Structure 1
Amino acid sequence: MPLNLFRGQGPVEPVTDLDERLPAIDRSALRSAGQYIADDGLRHAVDVAVYLGLPLLLTGEPGTGKTQLAWRVAAEFGLGEPLVFETKSSSVAQDLLYSFDAVRRFSLAQVKAGADEAERDRALDPRRFVRYQALGQAILLANDAATAQAWLPPGAPAPAAEGRRSLVLIDEIDKAPRDFPNDLLNEIDRRRFRVAELGDDYIAAPDAKAPIVLITSNSEKQLPDAFLRRCVFHHIEPPDDERLAQIAAARLPAYRGRPRLLGDAVAFFQSVREDALGLSKKPSTAELLNWLDVMVGAGARLDQALKAQQQTAADCLGALCKTVDDRVAVAERLAAWQGPQGRSAG
């Protein structure tokens, strides 16, 4: 493997030229919204959700592009960066809307105990201790400046005068406790919420500027029926050989023009995903892209077949396989690989 970046033995001689020794590979396309490729089914699902004003719930294997779709939709509709909420096992519905730093406010109250009343009121204005999260921020941004300003801390930058639409990504909602989706029903349905620490008033997003909401799930748990009824659903299937090659060529500039290595590597990737191999974790599209990427850095010849470069490919399998047993099985399949026509070999 010609990377030769890490020696791992002998006297420690600090590497001072690591940046120069790393392969000069342009990875910007891997993260570019402009290189995202949605199939017809996914395009129609986005259209339906936007038309109906309902959240789009996306399921599919990890690494199939569910999260990256948010950046493509936001870019194409001119909505700026997506507002992202990364769901945790401890998440509650309020976390998607706002957080309130009660501890900091209490501590400051002790410090300001001797201040005059006006100064103390300014310092302890509850709006100063509110931090709006993805959906709460999107609802605020949808309102005109005068309406939104009343909910923001004094001196905060004024939002757009007429309000604007945003895109909210609720990522991996199935990680949350079961009650989390049900507790969001009113906020998602009516696109409004209140900050209990500021009183009983609600702030709502005008229909004309309502946020677009994308929700991803890895299907680790069943979501409540009441929540599902309020969503447009789409399952992203693993791509076939042609779409994988198309995605790789778009995301990895070195593979544009569909060199021979790309076709062989895609065929091999699909073969190891077959149920007969019994992998505990089937590699995803994202892991295929990483494997293709590092093989270029390791000196693989794009114009040669995978079979002719098996050692280089095997040295890079850590990008494709994530357990010991899976790596052994895939390495054995690679050693027996005869090319796309030998897809069942091994």
Structure 2
Amino acid sequence: MVSDWRIYRGAGRPHDGLGELPAPPPWRDFSRSRTDAGTAGDAARRLGVQRQLVESLHPRPQEVEAVNAALYLRRPLLVTGDPGTGKSTLAHAVAYELGLGKVLRWPIVSRSALQDGLYHYDAIGRLQDVQLDRAQSGGEPAERPSIGDYIRLGPLGTALLPVPEGEQRVLLVDELDKGDTDLPNDLLNVLEEGEFTIPELERAPEERVRVRTDDGGTAVVERGRVRCQAFPFIVLTSNGERTFPAALLRRCIPLELAPPDPQQLAAMVTAHLGPDALADGAELIEEFLRREPGEVIANDQLFNALFFTARAQGAEPATRRRIAEMLLHRLDRSR
């Protein structure tokens, strides 16, 4: 008899079956990243909770060489490739191996501007607080709030804070090609000079102002200028949806990630799902590796299919096959 693996059954009758829901996939376990100390939880979710079972994720020589070129030359790494080839994961792998802390992440959307990455000044919030204090005190407030309480450095601004060599941050600028056409050119000066100014602090009477940072901490900004001491390791990713200006390309180390080979894929599956997944999902893995050139299916789609079908063992074989096909849909064409 086939057991019912479904949580939602579509019967229209309330039940408490949600309590039977198994633990989430390791890469979707957000509780781990919030409870583990330091960057361990974030690394586990991105790189695989069982990565200690794998000696190496077997990066290709050109990947290692490009990362080292970016480190030696203090230049951003521009990583291109199909969705799901590990472009974002590369930033986390470097941070984890070199002990550079939690990765700062700037996800680019169509409305993203350079200002979003550098800092945000909450002028309206400051004005409201001053007016509230004035109303409560019946006149001028006894002490005006510091302007630094209303300035928050963005991920790029936080990455450019002055720290010694060996303590620089890793910044992931994810999907740069999704942004406004002006953004790559707007980044040029900041990436070249490693500094920027905050006009609101340049006008402030205090020479040193403590502001909030993107990672939840605080930092002191002197004379309204943020200038890096050690250039951060910056990874710019792109799905290749558009070309970038030559001025940006010459300031970056280029790296194109190809789909994983069998050895790399086996290491990834083991790191995320354990060694048993290689045998249990051998058929799906083989189909994934045999896909046609130009057929885009992301690595995490395979992980999803392996995880889900392994937990739907009670389903009929035809049902499991249908689930796998749904999860492994091609990304290079509309459905």
Instruction: Please report the TM-score for the alignment, with normalisation by the length of structure 2.
Output: 0.76
Q: How far apart in 2 are the matches of 1:300 and 1:286?
A: 23
SS in 2 for 1:140: coil
Q: CA deviation at 1:163?
A: 9.6
Separation in structure 2 between the aligned mates of residue 210 and residue 197 of structure 1, nearest angstrom? 24
Matched, 1:170 2:193: no
1:117-163 Cα shifts (integer Å, max 9, x gaps): 6834x31x3212101111211222527xxxxxxxxxxxxxxxxxx99
> Gaps spanning 5+ residues in structure 1: where?
144-161, 302-307, 328-346
Is 1:293 matched up with 2:314?
Answer: no
Distance 2:262 2:100 in 1: 33
The one-letter code sitting in structure 2 at the alignment partner of 1:5 is I
Q: Which has the higher contact order (CA 8 A, sep 6+)?
A: 2
Q: Distance in 1 between matches of 2:91 and 2:124?
A: 34
Q: CA deviation at 1:109?
A: 3.0
Q: State whether structure 2 residue 123 is matched by structure 1 residue 102.
A: yes
Give, in whole Å, the separation in 2 of the partners of 1:218 and 1:24.
28
Seen in structure 2, the aligned counterparts of structure 1 residues 264 and 322 have a Cα distance that, compared at 3 Å, is closer
- Aligned with residue 8 of structure 2, among 3, 6, 10: 6
Q: Report the equivalent of 2:32.
A: none
Match runs of 1:212-251 below 5 Å: 212-251=233-272
2:142 to 106, 109, 119: 119
Look up the match of 1:69.
90
Counterpart code for 1:265: L
Match status 1:264 vs 2:266: no
Name the SS for the 1:188 alignment partner: helix
CA RMSD of the aligned region, Å? 3.1
Give the conservation status (yes or no) of the 8 Å contact 1:100–1:131. Answer: yes
8 Å contact 1:300–1:312 — kept in the other structure? no
| 3-state SS of paired residue (2:7) | coil
Find 1:204's aligned residue among 227, 233, 257: 227
Shift of 1:254: 5.0
Q: What whole-Å deviation, never above 9, does each CA across 1:71-129 have from its counterpart, x for those lacking one?
A: 11111111110111111111111111101111112222333446676834x31x32121
Could you tell me which residue of structure 2 aligns to residue 31 of structure 1?
46
Bigger strand share? 2
- Structure 2: distance between partners of 1:215 and 1:49: 12
Equivalent residue, structure 1, for 2:189: 186
Corresponding residue of 1:150:
none
- Give the equivalent residue in structure 2 for 1:343: none
Code of the residue aligned with 1:171 in structure 2: it is D
Q: Which amino acid aligns with 1:182?
A: N
Q: Distance in 1 between matches of 2:88 and 2:194?
A: 22
Aligned length: 289
Give the whole-Å Cα distance in 1 for the aligned partners of 2:24 and 2:243.
44
Decide whether the 8 Å contact of 2:80 with 2:87 is kept in 1.
yes
Tell me, in whole angstroms, the C-alpha distance in 2 between the residues paired with 1:45 and 1:286: 24
**274 and 229 in structure 1: CA distance in 2 versus 1, 3 angstrom threshold:** closer
Normalised TM-score (structure 1): 0.74
CA distance in 1, matches of 2:225, 2:334: 52
Deviations 1:14-70 (A, max 9, x none): 225x33353797667663367372222211111110010000011111111111122
Partner residue of 2:75 out of 42, 46, 54: 54
The one-letter amino acid paired with 1:178 is T
